Structure 1
Amino acid sequence: MTFVRFQAALPDRQGRFLGVFSLVNGLARRERLTPEQHLFRRLNNDWYDANYTDPSTVDPSVYRRPDAVAWFRPTSTHLLSRVTGYLDLLDAHGVPWVRLESDDPGRVVYEDADQVVVVPHP
């Protein structure tokens, strides 16, 4: 199975490659979104919250590992189809991103029907 991840093309100041949702939420925190973009983010974040398990609600320690990252299962098309709007928003703000695919993204520390959270291989 090939897993899918959308992330920053460049690392942040701590050397991390933030995921698409973190990137968009960061733009919102820095008040860089237009009212329409903010509405898109809020409505779609709410949709994801209602339709997608937050791994930290199942295992509060899952993201305490600084290098843990989430990957979508390719069968989660209902989740993947909405990512395009987030990518368009990043493009509008000149935030470079990449789509990654991997059959073995790392050591699995959490998994459910839609995603895995992994610690990348060294």
Structure 2
Amino acid sequence: MAALFVRFQAPVRNARGHFPGVFALANGLGRSGRLVGAERRFWQDGNDWYEANLTDPSKVDPSVYDRSLNPGATAWFKSTAGEVLDRVAGYLDLLSVHEVACERIESPNPGKVVYEDEHQVVVVPEDL
């Protein structure tokens, strides 16, 4: 049986104790100045595409990532997210070139859903 939800994240926790997702990892490269030329254009164009085609849950519900209300909240793609999910491959390639580890994890139940739309859910992991 295929997993219903997919997440791409760092394999190790950051200083706040979270596993940064694929976009946070790529944005870290971009904001640090490590991306140049075609890589930078890909990152900027990709972020623009996601801005236009994927809802930012925090713009719908500003409390969704509130650390006290939803500790450890993370976004997961639905396996049915089509192009929204397919386009992550370019980000994974970018991270790989820069030797930034990112793993794919799948789960039929990643946690308590605090936000949902057609492409994604935001969940609070049940192990916190």
TM norm. shorter chain > 0.5: yes
Pick the TM interval, shorter chain. Answer: over 0.9
SS at match of 2:87: helix
How do 1:50-69 and structure 2 match up within 5 A? Answer: 50-65=52-67, 66-69=71-74
Aligned to 1:108: 113
Aligned to 1:72: 77
Partners of 2:44 and 2:50 lie apart in 1 by 10
* TM, length-normalised to structure 2: 0.91
Deviation at 1:14, TM superposition (A): 2.2
**What does the per-residue CA deviation read over 1:27-53, in whole Å, with 9 as the maximum and x for residues that have no partner?**
111111122111001101101111111
Identity fraction in percent? 57
How do 1:26-41 and structure 2 match up within 5 A? Answer: 26-41=28-43
Length, aligned pairs only: 122
Deviation at 1:13, TM superposition (A): 2.1
Deviation at 1:117, TM superposition (A): 0.0
Once superposed, what is the RMSD of the aligned Cα atoms? Answer: 1.0
Deviation at 1:78, TM superposition (A): 1.1
**What does the per-residue CA deviation read over 1:41-82, in whole Å, with 9 as the maximum and x for residues that have no partner?**
110110111111110110011112341100001110111110
SS at match of 1:42: helix
SS at match of 2:16: coil
Partners of 1:12 and 1:93 lie apart in 2 by 18
Q: Which amino acid aligns with 1:101?
A: E
- 1:120 counterpart = 2:122: no
Selected match of 1:94 from 99, 105, 113? 99
SS at match of 1:116: strand
More deviation, 26-35/91-100: 26-35
SS at match of 1:64: coil
* TM, length-normalised to structure 1: 0.95
- Provide structure 2 residue ranges, at least 5 long, that are not aligned to the other structure: none
Partners of 1:113 and 1:106 lie apart in 2 by 17
Q: Hey, which of these two has a bigger chunk of helix by percent? A: 1
More deviation, 108-117/8-17: 8-17
SS at match of 1:63: coil
Aligned to 2:49: 47
Q: Which amino acid aligns with 1:99?
A: R
